[in-house]
Each structure stands twice: as C-alpha cells, then as structure tokens.
Amino acid sequence: MKKTTTNNNGITAIYVRRSVSDKDKGNNSLSISAQREECIRFVGDCEYQVYCDDGKSGKDVQHRPAFMQMMQDARDGLISRIVVKKYDRFSRNMREYLNITDELDRYGVTVYSLSEPFNTETKEGRMMRNNLLNFAEFERETIAARVADAYSTRARETGFYQGGKTYYGFTSERRTVNGKTGSVLVPSEQAESVKIAYDLYQKPSTSLKDVIEYFKENDIYTLSKHNGEVKDNMDRSHISRILESPLYVRADKEVYAFFVSKGCEILDDIEAYDGIHGVFIHRASGVTFV
C-alpha cells in the first residue's frame, strides 16, 4: 500500500525547464533564468529549492533528472508545494501530468502555475488547467510531425541520408553531389557478412540455424548499439532482420513492382531501378518512402 502524507512543513520547490525547441523559438520569457527569477519573486521569503532541467523535453519525466529528484523529495516529505512558470513546464503529456498530480495529492503537495493561477481545488479550475495541458500536448505532437515531415522532404529533394541508426553493413559518409554536400550510406566492412548470410541462406539445404552457427564459428559479430565498440554475437534476431530487410536488395524492376504492391511512395521513376543501385527506405507520418 502506498504511503499517504499530509505535508504542510516542507519547502517550496521551484521547477524550471526549457526544451531545445523553446531555445529554437528564441522565447526569452521561457529562459531558465527568467523562469527562476519570476518564481523566486513569487515565493518571497519562503524557504525554497530550485530544480532545473535545461534542454529537456516535456514529453515525459523519465529523462529529466531534476524532476525525478524533486518527485523523490516529495515522497520523502521534504516539499509542501511546487511552483512553475507554466503548467507545460511541468509536463506536456496530459495523462502523465494527471498521474503525477494524483501522486502529489497523496503527499499533500500542490502545484501552482504563475501564468495560469487557477484554483485547482474547484472543478472549474481543474477544467481550465486540463484544457491548457491538452493544447500543450497537441502543440508538442504537431512540432514532432513537422520535424518528421521536414526530414522526409529533405530526403526526397536531396537524396541524402538524414541521420539516425545506420543499418548493419552500411556506414554514413560525407559527399558532394551536384554541388550539395551531405551524408550518404555506403557499404561498411560488415557488408561482406551480409553477402555471406544471403549466399548461405539461399541454398535449399541451409537453415537459419546453420547461418547462425557459421557466424559464431567464424567470429562474425555485430557492434552493440548500447556499448559502442563492444562486440555482440549475431543471434537469430540480428540475422533474421538482415535476411528480411528490403534494404539489402538491388533496385531492379521486380523490386519496384514489390514496393508498388505494398503501397509505398516511390520517389524515382522505374528507369532508376536498373539492378545496379540499392534502395533507401524512410518512414514518416505513416507513409513509407522508397
């Protein structure tokens, strides 16, 4: 059973946060220093502590160390109230905000916004607060969609690799094409291992288990995505993803017809599917671009 605490003796917590997107907008009123100074003026002579997450998204709280420390201090009975410049500094995720405030209510901790001083002890005040948070969540999701669309547009217009995880057998390399410089995917030293996997698996007598055993016996590894240069064995999931991925095919007429049948948006004419080049797949806003 969770502990319930009524806390009237704790300090006032001042929580300030600024995301990368806030910095890009150039909104000085949401700078860390502006938020801190305004909150400090409000609390006056009360004992307070500032919890600061700079450059952290409002999408969730798990990646905000100062917020997590503040919540732990609330659980320990050290905080009586939390003051923020705006409710969306606290969270832009409506469900998460309600879950957190429910938990804080059990500890007797209130959340007060300087810009939206609603009385959240009334149903009208809670409704106004929740409407603001709904708009904040909508704004965050809209920004995320715009970023994805921008990446997709640049990929279509330039043909350059737009970043993110590089697939096994490829590496990114800076090149200048038609006067423009960007990153392209080129075969890495692991590309030969991909070819070996396909050459083995296409034989009727070879199973996926046989391919896995061959890779183990010949010390063919993948680099751990979590540990940089640490080598991991090529297990069933790794090799299955390689053999099932259309990224490794040569772009010919049959491959063109396959992607058309799957409802993908084809960015090049069928003449470009010459059996010499490969394909690059990008997904954005629910659409697969090839």
Q: What is the pLDDT of residue 227?
A: 44
Same-domain status, 201 and 127: no
Residue 1 lies in a domain: no
Average pLDDT over residues 24-42: 79
Q: What is the pLDDT of residue 52?
A: 94
Q: How confident is the model at residue 220 (pLDDT cuts 50, 70, 90)?
A: confident
Same-domain status, 241 and 271: no
Least confidently predicted of 10-24, 162-176, 208-222, 263-277: 162-176
Residue 149 lies in a domain: no
Domain final residue, candidates 99, 117, 143: 143
Q: How confident is the model at residue 127 (pLDDT cuts 50, 70, 90)?
A: confident
Question: Residue 182 belongs to a domain with what CATH number?
Answer: 3.90.1750.20
Same-domain status, 178 and 128: no
Residue 260 lies in a domain: yes
d(CA 118, CA 242): 55
Q: 86-102 pLDDT, tens per residue?
A: 877 877 677 777 788 88
Domain final residue, candidates 143, 175, 205: 143
In the chain, how many domains are there?
3
Average pLDDT over residues 137-160: 60
Same-domain status, 15 and 139: yes
The whole domain housing 217 covers 161-248
Find the distance separating the first CA and the last CA of the chain, reported in whole Å: 53
Average pLDDT over residues 145-151: 61
Q: What is the pLDDT of residue 19?
A: 80
Average pLDDT over residues 219-237: 61
Q: What is the pLDDT of residue 181?
A: 72
Q: 38-86 pLDDT, tens per residue?
A: 999 999 989 999 999 988 876 778 889 999 999 999 999 999 999 999 8
Most confident of 81-90, 212-221, 239-248, 255-264: 81-90
Domain final residue, candidates 110, 143, 176: 143
Contact at 8 Å (CB) between 7 and 79?
A: yes
pTM, full prediction: 0.47
User: Is the pLDDT at 23 greater than 60, yes or no?
Assistant: no
Same-domain status, 268 and 254: yes
Same-domain status, 170 and 267: no
Residue 5 lies in a domain: no
User: Is the pLDDT at 119 greater than 60, yes or no?
Assistant: no
Q: 156-192 pLDDT, tens per residue?
A: 555 666 566 677 777 777 777 677 777 777 777 787 8
User: Is the pLDDT at 111 greater than 80, yes or no?
Assistant: yes
Same-domain status, 109 and 50: yes
Question: Residue 105 belongs to a domain with what CATH number?
Answer: 3.40.50.1390
Same-domain status, 25 and 136: yes
Average pLDDT over residues 204-222: 81
